[in-house]
Amino acid sequence: MNSTSLFSKYSRIFIKTMRFLFFVFVFLISLTVQGQQSSKVSLNEELYASYENPYKIISFGEKINFGKIENSIVWTVSSNDSNKKSSLIGNEINNYIFESPGTYKITFNENKAIKDGECNHTVFPEVMLIKVSPYKMDFDFSTIQFSTKLEAGAPIENCLLTVDVHLKSFSNEKVAFQNGKFVSAGIDTTIEGQLLNNAFTLNPGINKLVYQLKGVAKSGNFIMLDFFDINGQVQSYYYPTKL
């Protein structure tokens, strides 16, 4: 085989090798891009889920107690409805007042060196969505009245519960309180209540709610009634006597 043929042969091998390496390179780049896109989609889905299922729902003018926080943690609270942004350190987050309704994003970073063998799992999610409602509803359980006495072991019939609630509205407006209810907690209890008017209009100030009761509770037990407010949050009433 002459030198020209030998050169031609090795040239073809070189070209085939370079083509193979090029396709491998393109394939690896494609996998990397797909992984990044998948990561972005996963993050977007996670954030979307946070909007649908926020970390916490509170009313305007309230705080959130995150417990005792080390000063190595730096918080950022930003409003999705305005350009307001606040940076806080450690326990300062517990004194932050969510003054206006809307959706807020809380992020935190921990400026702490992790020692060998030390767990670096965070206590909170890195991003938390907080929904702040324009309504604040407080049950005044000192005003609760039952139209008939609750009897243990007997099905409840034609019993009404009345209770006063105080509504605060950010815009001082009325609001419909729909499908208001309470459920009981305790051993062997099925007592629950439903608003007589399923679309009761709450006015700013004091309102009287009336619930229709049903269910039964076993004798010898204490029960607790969990009332759902206009924000879907629970306020609990402890029935004072054992049934």
Task: Check the CA dihedral 6-10-15-19 and report its sign.
Answer: positive
Which tens digits make up the pLDDT trace of 217-237?
888 888 999 999 999 999 999
Closest C-alpha to 128, from 72, 84, 78, 69: 78
Question: Does residue 37 carry a pLDDT above 80?
Answer: no
Top-confidence residue, 145 or 120: 145
Top-confidence residue, 12 or 183: 183
* CATH annotation of 135-238: 2.60.40
Which tens digits make up the pLDDT trace of 130-185?
999 999 999 999 999 999 988 888 899 899 999 999 999 999 999 999 989 999 99
Cα separation of 105 and 56, whole Å? Answer: 11
Mean pLDDT of all residues in 58-86: 91
Q: How many helices (H) and strands (E) does the chain have?
A: 1, 14
Question: Does residue 123 carry a pLDDT above 80?
Answer: no
At residue 33, the pLDDT reads 46
Which tens digits make up the pLDDT trace of 13-36?
555 566 655 555 555 555 554 554
Task: Check the CA dihedral 142-143-144-148 and report its sign.
Answer: positive
